[in-house]
Amino acid sequence: MPKPIIDHSKCTGCNTCVEICPMDVLKKSDDKDKKIDTTDNECIGCRACEVQCPEGCIKVQD
């Protein structure tokens, strides 16, 4: 199963990945450390978040 792995130190919380994800795998979190979090939805591994992220802090692992 593919899964997005977020580098929270680089993430600015711009929400582009949340908007672009077709399966709603990513969501905005209220935690101070994690600006974006993953949900239980199934990731199809389209890598849209990886390509679109302006900081390049998301990597999808197969």
Partner 1 sequence: MAKKVKKSQSKIKKKVWVKLVAPPAFGKADLGEASVEDPRQAIGKTVTANLMTLTRDPKKQGINVRFIVRKMHESHAETIFNRYRLMPASIKRMVRRNKNRLDHSFKCKTSDGVLLILKPIVLTMNKCNRSVIQALRKKVVSFLFYNVGKKTFDQFVQELITAKIQISLKRSLSKLYPVAICELREAIVSSYPDTMKGTKPEGKLTVKPAVEEKKPAVKPVKTEVKTEEKPAKVEEKPAAKTEEKPIAKVEEKPAKPVKKSVTSKKSKEE
CA separation for the pair 7, 12 (Å, rounded): 10
Q: Per CB under 8 A, which region of 4-12, 30-38, 47-55 contacts partner 1?
A: 47-55
Could you write out the DSSP letters of every residue in 16-34?
A: HHHHH-TT--EEE---SS-
Q: Is 44 in the site for partner 1 (CB under 8 A)?
A: yes
CA separation for the pair 19, 49 (Å, rounded): 9
Q: Of residues 8, 27, 47, 59, which one binds partner 1 by CB under 8 A?
A: 47
- Closest CB to partner 1 among residues 34, 47: 47
> Where along the sequence are the contacts to partner 1 (CB under 8 A)?
16, 19-20, 22, 44-48, 51-52
